[in-house]
């Protein structure tokens, strides 16, 4: 193998957290552009609680949010997001975020107090919650204090632009505020509000080059939110300009219209964003299936993707048309009671060979064996039974890398095996029997990925793959 190829492979494995000797310990981040974090500005769901917004963000397959101050936390918690939250309330939010695998990367638009004590409390809160950017519209006399706090806490201040005639509607005013300030002071570029102000967002981005800390991203046509890529179709040019600038940072999806259900529109917009961003500086992550399943094989009318969820409508399994060798597969699944399904890996022939099956089953509370959820079926039990109750979404990350198979489920590493340890047909390394007529070390190292129909309801969503 060429030295450059070897170096690229090692780097790829390092970036995914997977090596031949070590399995990753966490679920994957699946952003398609290397250095961009696409998330939701929670104002998009301001009619819902923060916890409901986190669930909606997870349903969209995103790992990030920008929180707005004042959003109600949950139906059970009589509190609003901000520095006044108690220690216990902050811990509850952190627990919810960890369970959903979502990080708060920014907060805004937030008013920054004029006195140092209260301003410092805001920065302390941001630091504790992992917030790296504060989007705000401060007054000129506040910048000495804000700049000093930004440097001290290493948190960016991003000056946000509301539409004309707000103070910062024109990027020239933002640049004036940044002049002479540290690199921690910059812009929260709301590209939609620039359109509402009669400005060209690409030209505005060019003016702010080197000072952009955050993007509020939306597509505006005739004053209203539309699906990205429709209307005037500005998103492609915006992303290409930010790529030219080597922008590294966050994008906060902000839908402000009075749509009854914004999720389907946002899902389409994400698809457009990813189709553009993945051509510019790709991480390698992509959807395993397209929305119409045109790159899948299955029985006629057997499976469909509806509202972002893959489900069996008739009998039979569903398979990728493409074959995969070494990869990371990230997905979520939801089970009914007593549901049984599975994820098949590297299937070479449907009928004559066994294949690797990661068991998907309603097994909460069951004793750990080689058939509970997360088991390599009939071959290796999971380290823990990590299944959630029926009706809740589970997350699973599967790494297939040479002879290594690793599985993480609901934030817990549950499988770390080397197929080369299975040297006999019908025999597991621990001495137990399995039903397979071939030693697992002899299984194909390349093949289709599939999802099993076992006659019971199961739904999959956010199914993404990255080849190594």
Domain end call among 260, 282, 304: 282
Residues 305 and 221 in one domain: no
- The Cα diameter of the chain in Å comes to 77
Structural domain harbouring 172: 31-282
Q: Is residue 102 part of a domain?
A: yes
Q: What is the distance between the alpha carbons of residues 174 and 391, in angstroms, rounded to a whole number?
A: 48
Cis peptide before 165 (omega within 30 of 0): yes
Q: What is the distance between the alpha carbons of residues 18 and 328, in angstroms, rounded to a whole number?
A: 9
Residues 318 and 248 in one domain: no
Name beta bridge partners: 253: 40, 217
Q: Are 356 and 450 in contact (CB under 8 A)?
A: no
Residues 265 and 359 in one domain: no
Helix, coil or strand: residue 36: strand
Residues 52 and 91 in one domain: yes
Q: Is residue 288 part of a domain?
A: no
Q: Are 446 and 345 in contact (CB under 8 A)?
A: no
- Stated pTM of the model: 0.93
Q: Is residue 233 part of a domain?
A: yes
Q: Is residue 13 part of a domain?
A: no
pLDDT 10s digits, 171-193: 999 999 999 999 999 999 999 99
Angle (deg, nearest 10), helices 87-100 and 50-59: 10
pLDDT 10s digits, 275-307: 999 999 999 999 999 999 999 999 988 999 999
Contacts 24+ apart (CB under 8 A), 204-209: 204/171, 205/238, 205/241, 205/242, 205/245, 206/241, 207/171, 207/172, 207/175, 208/171, 208/174, 208/175, 209/245
Residues 252 and 197 in one domain: yes
Residues 264 and 358 in one domain: no
Q: What is the distance between the alpha carbons of residues 441 and 20, in angstroms, rounded to a whole number?
A: 15
CA torsion, points 400, 403, 409, 412, in degrees to nearest 10?
Answer: -130
pLDDT 10s digits, 52-85: 999 999 999 999 999 999 999 999 999 999 999 9
Residues 325 and 397 in one domain: yes
Residues 69 and 208 in one domain: yes
H helices of 154-190, in order, are 171-178
Residues 300 and 276 in one domain: no
| Count: domains in the chain | 2
pLDDT 10s digits, 360-405: 999 999 999 999 999 999 999 999 999 999 999 999 999 999 999 9
pLDDT of 10: 39
Residues 69 and 135 in one domain: yes
Q: What is the distance between the alpha carbons of residues 17 and 8, in angstroms, rounded to a whole number?
A: 14
pLDDT 10s digits, 331-369: 999 999 998 999 999 998 755 667 899 999 999 999 999
pLDDT of 351: 54
Which CATH number do you get for residue 324?
2.60.120.560
Q: Are 113 and 122 in contact (CB under 8 A)?
A: yes
The burial class, CB within 10 Å (0-12 / 13-18 / 19+), for 338 is exposed
């Amino acid at each position: 193998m060429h030295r450059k190829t070897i170096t690229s492979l090692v780097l790829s494995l390092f970036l995914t957290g997977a090596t031949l000797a070590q399995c990753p310990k966490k679920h994957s981040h699946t952003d398609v552009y290397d250095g961009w974090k696409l998330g939701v500005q929670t104002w998009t769901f301001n009619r819902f609680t923060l916890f409901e917004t986190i669930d909606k963000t997870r349903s969209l397959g995103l790992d990030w949010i920008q929180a707005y101050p004042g959003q109600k936390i949950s139906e059970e918690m009589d509190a609003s997001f901000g520095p006044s939250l108690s220690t216990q309330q902050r811990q509850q939010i952190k627990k919810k975020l960890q369970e959903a695998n979502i990080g708060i990367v920014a907060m805004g638009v937030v008013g920054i107090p004029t006195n140092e004590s209260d301003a410092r409390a805001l920065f302390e809160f941001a630091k504790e919650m992992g917030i790296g950017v504060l989007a705000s519209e401060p007054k000129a006399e506040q910048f000495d204090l804000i700049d000093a706090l930004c440097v001290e806490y290493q948190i960016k201040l991003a000056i946000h632009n509301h539409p004309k005639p707000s103070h910062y509607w024109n990027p020239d005013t933002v640049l004036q505020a940044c002049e002479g300030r540290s690199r921690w002071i910059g812009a929260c570029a709301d590209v939609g509000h620039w359109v509402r102000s009669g400005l060209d967002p690409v030209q505005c981005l060019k003016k702010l080059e080197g000072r952009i800390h955050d993007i509020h991203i939306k597509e505006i046509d005739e004053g209203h939110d539309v699906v990205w890529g429709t209307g005037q179709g500005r998103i492609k040019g915006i992303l290409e300009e930010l790529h030219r600038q080597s922008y590294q940072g966050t994008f906060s999806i902000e839908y402000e219209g009075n749509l009854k259900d914004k999720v389907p529109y946002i899902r389409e917009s994400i698809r457009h964003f990813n189709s553009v961003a993945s051509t510019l500086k790709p991480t390698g992550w992509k959807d395993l299936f397209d929305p119409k399943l045109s790159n899948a094989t299955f029985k006629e009318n057997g499976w469909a993707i509806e509202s972002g969820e893959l489900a069996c409508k008739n009998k039979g399994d569903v398979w990728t048309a493409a074959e995969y060798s070494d990869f990371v597969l990230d997905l979520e699944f939801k089970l009914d009671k007593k549901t049984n399904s599975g994820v098949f890996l590297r299937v070479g022939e449907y009928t004559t060979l066994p294949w690797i099956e990661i068991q998907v089953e309603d097994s909460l509370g069951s004793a750990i064996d080689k058939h509970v959820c997360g088991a390599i079926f009939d071959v290796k039990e999971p380290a823990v039974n990590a299944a959630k109750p029926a009706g809740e979404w589970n997350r699973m990350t599967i790494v297939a890398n040479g002879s290594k198979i690793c599985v993480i489920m609901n934030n817990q590493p549950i499988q770390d095996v080397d197929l080369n340890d299975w040297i006999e047909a019908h025999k597991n390394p621990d001495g137990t029997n399995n039903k397979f007529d071939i030693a697992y070390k002899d299984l194909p190292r390349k093949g289709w990925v599939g999802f099993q129909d076992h006659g019971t309801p199961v739904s999959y969503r956010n199914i993404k793959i990255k080849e190594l």
